[in-house]
Structure 1
């Protein structure tokens, strides 16, 4: 699952951009991995999986990130996106 992260936001939320990508707004700064940790915690809570089931596959230091959700298949992506946007 690909997301675009926007750290230092006034409130946490997830929106679908006009190009179809998910944009995740986080409170934490992009410093010493704080935003990455908040991203994993926030996403895991939204989709109802353990924090240990999520991993950042690509984009540790950038805003564009690819997340790996253990136990989910590519065919489950629609359900995951629906959960994130609800």
Structure 2
């Protein structure tokens, strides 16, 4: 069990550290107790959050409606809940 995610029934909760405005969107590895994700989107008008949720949905093989930003809307530190994914979070670390 790692500190950056937890599974509770069908819901997977991720603790993320976001770096907006990067060259491309990808997983940068672990950052303390969080998974660091670089986003190509700028942190303007919710665009980074939108890009993040899309990236998470694609990475975990679920529709966008099954990914929810639980906290950290204005922060680099975010908590995201994913419903119904069978993807193991460790697989993102490649």
TM over 0.5: yes
Unpaired runs of 5+ in structure 1?
Answer: none
Runs of 4+ residues over 3 Å off in structure 1: none
Q: Cα distance, 1:11 vs. partner?
A: 1.3
The TM-score with structure 1 as length reference comes to 0.83
1:37 corresponds in structure 2 to: 50
Does 2:82 correspond to 1:82? no
Partners of 1:63 and 1:25 in 2: CA distance: 11
Query: For the aligned residues, what is the CA RMSD?
Result: 1.9
1:15 corresponds to which of 28, 37, 49: 28
Unpaired runs of 5+ in structure 2?
Answer: 1-13
**Pairs aligned (count):** 81
Larger helix share, 1 or 2:
1
Larger strand share, 1 or 2:
2
